[in-house]
Structure formats: structure tokens, C-alpha cells
Structure 1
Amino acid sequence: MGEKFKRTTPEEALKRLKEEQMGQLKIYIGYAPGVGKTYTMLNEANNRLEKGEDILIGYLESHQRKETEAQIGKLEAIPRKKIKYNGMVLEEMDTEAIITRRPTTVLVDELAHTNVPGSKNRKRYEDVEEILNHGINVISTLNIQHLESLNDIVRQITGIIVRETIPDIIVENADEVVVIDITPTALRNRLNGGYIYKHENVVRSLKNFFRQGNLTALREIALRQTAEEVDEELEEYKKQHGIKENWHVIERVMVCIGPSPSSKKLIRRGARIARKFKCELIIVNINCTRVFMPKMTQKDIQMLESHFKLAKQLGAKVVTLRGKSVSRELAKFATERYITQIIIGHSGKTKWESLIRGSTVTKLLKLTKNIEVHIIPNN
């Protein structure tokens, strides 16, 4: 018998065809206004134009910054659509005109913008989705504080409620995300020099949103958020290409615990290491199903619960695994989760028990050759 092939359903074929015909989305992300997102986007567009690409401006918000406006160059711009609202005439991006013109690529500034009431779509990212569905590529810009999941964090840091947000899925599904990064000191110097806002707004901005602490925190959020996106892409690439070894791109710390009181020491050590690297911390407990394994007492259960509580207080994820071999389950989990550092206590077995069944620590060291293992004394 020949090899059987799974037949593609009409729905699957239609979905694949639609994905192939979709335009690609590239987003320039920054941690604050003035870092250079629009400037960089325009610079890239002019380079593409010189190479013969049909690329134009769908919507641009220069904020009257001379540096930015100088980058427009020879780029064609689609005239904005005029919409009457409350006795005023306001301008929005003309999505229909872009689709009719059908360029290869269009620039759309300020992805999180809310459209004027009366527009076809409520949000600009919905306009972008419509353009992408017509097979037109989009390059856009976004500040990190406009991501919906970060709304509360940004408010806590800056004291400012960001009302214009976009779903995280928009960034997650983007074909390319690029961080435009400058130091907070350099950004404040740009603000002071009048390159971002008019001089009468500079002093107020420096004392509010553009405080050094605010900018430093927002910058770290932007860099970490993008690092997570890149890490997910790398994991997907490794799965597709059957790559199993850990490339140690991002640190991940795993702490192996049990009901012993000394496990709290391990958790705290793991938290210090994770804080140093600003990385993920996972606390793992094994529910061993081996025959003749002593059952946990009520005291053991209560001790474990107190360990879990401490771990969560320190910002760790808590995972309980089941299996006959403690060492194999730990090694399997560490490999699957791309753990880079394992923290474990000295084996509590007697010499006789270690001779008969072997030490968990020794077995784990053999099974995790590409992972750093920290063996911590129980005392």
C-alpha cells in the first residue's frame, strides 16, 4: 500500500489561499513619542521607492517636526478623507482610496488612533486590517503604552490613563516588529531642544510623561515585550526545523522543590537569579507515582502549599508534574520549556538508597548536559 495523504478540505484550502493573498504588516514600536518611529518609517519608504517599489503614504502625522517632514521626500500621499463632526470638518485616512489605488505598500502612522465618529471603522488598526485583506502591505507605527495588556502597568508607572489601545493580537500577528530605541537621556535632550513638541510644552512634558523614571520603565517594557515576541518566533522556527537543543537566547530559571523546609531556600535563590537576569522563574514539584513511594502526609501537603505561596509572592510560576522518575520528568520539562538554569537541593537519600536507586541529582546532571545545574546545600 502506498503512503496515505491527508486530503485538504475546501475550508483549509480557502484559508491558506486567503493567508497567501494577505498583505504583510510591519510595525515600528517605540516607548515614547519622539524616539524616531515615523522618521525611520519614512526613511525606509524612500529607500524602497528608489529601488522601484510602488510605496506611498496613506496617513502621516508629522506633528510639525521638521526632521520628520524632511524625510517625506518624493513619496506620494493619498489625500485625506474629510468628515463632518459637531460642526467641524476633520480629516482621516481614506482607506477606500488606498484600496482603489492599490500600491504594493502603504505607510499608516499611529496604529492605535481612534477614528472620527462617522468613519467606516472605529479604529485605525481596523482600517489597516481591511487594507491587508486586499493584499496591500502596511508599514505602521505604535507606542508600547497603547497595547491593551499593558494599560494598567502604564497607568501605574506614569499616572496617565491611555485611552487609545489596540488588542495585543495585532502586534503578535504582525509579520515584522522593529523597536526604535534611544536612551531616555537622549530623548529628554531631544525634547529640550524643541525637536518633539513646541517650546511652550517642553517644561510641562519633562515634569510629567517624560520624567527620567517613566521613560526608563517604559523603555524596559518595550524591549522586554519585543524580546518575548522574538523568542516565540525562535521557538516556532526550532519546532518547524526539528531543532531540540537549547540555544540559550533568553534565560529561564527552574527551581525543583519538595515538601522539605529547605525548599524555601531554593525558591529564594531562584528568585534572586531570575531578578538578576530579569527572566522567567518556574517552581516545579514532582508528584512521584513510583510503586512503594511513601505517600505525602498532611504536614507535607501544608509545607508544599506554603512553598507555592512564597513562590507566587516572588512572581514565579508554579508547576506540578507527575511521573515515575523524578529526574526524567524534570529533564523532560526543562528541555521542553528551554530552561537555562536549574536549581536543586542536595539529595536527601542515604548512601545506601543512592547505591540502590541512584541519586536524583546525579541522574539529572546526566540528562541535562546543556543546562546549568546549581546544587544547593540543604542546611
Structure 2
Amino acid sequence: MLKETILVCISHPIHAEKLIQRGKALAKAFDGECLVLSVDTKAYDKLNFSQLQTKYLFESLAKKYEVKLITRNTDAKNIASAIAETALEKNVTQIVIGQSIQTKVQLWTKEPIINNLLKKITGIDIHIVEVNRDFYYEGDSYERGNHAHLIEEDGHYILSFDSLTNDHLKGIFFKEHSTDFSNGFFVIAEPTELKVIRIHEGIAQKDEVLANTKI
């Protein structure tokens, strides 16, 4: 008997848990396996602060529901291809995917991913879960992240964009749009969590840095 493998496709944080729950329920009903797929259309260092938070939310949800998270990188035009390729590689038998209600204008100007996906796969059941994108807002208060370092100096840490040795803290700095100063957040990506340090006028307080690192 062919083992049922459920592939849950997630993209928006507000809907991810609902879709994973649906996939887990199907996997339990069919005594199969549930996998979760997130398709990234941007490189890690090009993500804005909200997108970076979303990335780590997906990882925490995968851990919470004890499912394997698969991440693939592609451009926005090839999302359906990435889903189809993953489904074939993992011998997927069922796919769970969210579909928002589209206006007539959206239907005229952009083909839904599901329609494109149906052209690329056969023999795989697709479960479409209706979701509402109106509840998801991706903030634009911060600029795209830039690689940066924190250097210890005179009892605090200085933000720097120069290339430095491995002794300095490496991360990505997200600058607030509404300021001429280096105000924002310094993000250190660790394997299991996201460390966030507040930066004010290019300076991070030592106690906050120590609380968020293993120095």
C-alpha cells in the first residue's frame, strides 16, 4: 500500500498554522507523513524585518507540530514549479495549499498559483483551503537588511558595516525608515531562534547584547 505523504504549502504567517493543522489532520487520518514547504523568493540578506520574522515563525511552527520544514528558493514566477518539483521528489500524494478570494481584476492580470500547479502535476490530490489575505499586513517601517557587525567599545557596542574579524558579532541591521540616524534592530540568526538587539544612534547597550548572545 502506497504511503500517504501530505505536503503543506505555507507563505503567510497568519494562515500558516491553520494549513499545518489541516495537513497534520490528513496525515493522521491516512496514517501518513506531513511535510511543510516554504518557498522563498528572496535571498536571506534581502529580506526585510517582517519577512525575517516570518521565516523564523515557520521554523517554530514546524518544531511545534513536529513536521519537517522544506525551504526552496526561486523567483516569484516559478513558485508553482518549486511546489511541483518538491512534490515529485518527496513522493507526495496530497497537497494542502491556501487560496485567497481574488477580485476580477486579479483574475484578469495574474493566474492563480493553483491553476499553474494543476498543469504541472498529475495523480496528486490538492486540498484548497480558503484564506483571507486582508488580515495579513507586511510592515514597511524598516529598510531592507544589511550585513553589519557590533564592536565592543567603552562599555557598549558600536554598529559597523566594515569587514571585520570573526571576533566581532555578525548579523543583519534593519534601519528605521523615519530617521537619519542608525536606529533600528540588529538581528543575529541562530539555528533555533532569532536574536534581536535594539540599536539607537548606532549604539547597542552592553547588557542587552550580553542577554542576547553567548559571549
Q: Which string of whole-angstrom CA distances, capped at 9 and with x for unpartnered residues, describes residues 112-162 of structure 1?
A: xxxxxxxxxxxxxxxxxxxxxxxxxxxxxxxxxxxxxxxxxxxxxxxxxxx
Q: Secondary structure at the match of 2:35?
A: strand
Residues in 2 aligned to 1:351 and 1:328: alpha-carbon distance in whole angstroms: 25
Q: Which string of whole-angstrom CA distances, capped at 9 and with x for unpartnered residues, describes residues 165-207 of structure 1?
A: xxxxxxxxxxxxxxxxxxxxxxxxxxxxxxxxxxxxxxxxxxx
Mapped contact 1:259–1:300 kept (Cα < 8 A): no
- What displacement does 1:353 show? 3.7
Instruction: Give structure 2 stretches of 5+ with no counterpart.
Output: 133-215
State whether structure 2 residue 21 is matched by structure 1 residue 268: yes
- What displacement does 1:374 show? 0.3
Classify 1:311/1:330 alpha carbon distance in 2 versus 1 (closer, same or farther; 3 Å): same
1:76-115 superposed matches below 5 A: none
Structure with max Cα Rg: 1
Partner of 1:300: 51
Residues in 2 aligned to 1:298 and 1:349: alpha-carbon distance in whole angstroms: 27
Classify 1:260/1:302 alpha carbon distance in 2 versus 1 (closer, same or farther; 3 Å): same
Residues in 2 aligned to 1:323 and 1:332: alpha-carbon distance in whole angstroms: 12
- What displacement does 1:307 show? 2.6
Q: Secondary structure at the match of 1:262?
A: helix
- What displacement does 1:366 show? 2.1
Aligned length: 128
Partner of 2:6: 253
Partner of 1:331: 84
Q: Which string of whole-angstrom CA distances, capped at 9 and with x for unpartnered residues, describes residues 261-291 of structure 1?
A: 11210011111111222222111011125xx
Match of 1:322 among 67, 70, 73: 73
Partner of 2:38: 285
Q: Which string of whole-angstrom CA distances, capped at 9 and with x for unpartnered residues, describes residues 289-333 of structure 1?
A: 5xxxxx643123213322321222212100110123000110111
Q: Secondary structure at the match of 1:250?
A: coil
Residues in 2 aligned to 1:348 and 1:288: alpha-carbon distance in whole angstroms: 22
The alignment's TM-score, normalised by the length of structure 1, stands at 0.31
Mapped contact 2:101–2:130 kept (Cα < 8 A): no
Q: CA RMSD in A?
A: 2.3
State whether structure 2 residue 111 is matched by structure 1 residue 358: yes
In terms of fraction of residues, the more strand-rich structure is: 2
In terms of fraction of residues, the more helix-rich structure is: 1
Instruction: Give structure 1 stretches of 5+ with no counterpart.
Output: 1-247, 290-294
Classify 1:260/1:355 alpha carbon distance in 2 versus 1 (closer, same or farther; 3 Å): farther
Kindly provide the amino acid, as one letter, of the partner of residue 14 in structure 2: P
State whether structure 2 residue 143 is matched by structure 1 residue 367: no
Q: Secondary structure at the match of 1:331?
A: helix
Q: Secondary structure at the match of 1:261?
A: helix
The alignment's TM-score, normalised by the length of structure 2, stands at 0.53
Kindly provide the amino acid, as one letter, of the partner of residue 310 in structure 1: L
Residues in 2 aligned to 1:285 and 1:354: alpha-carbon distance in whole angstroms: 24
Q: Secondary structure at the match of 1:346?
A: strand
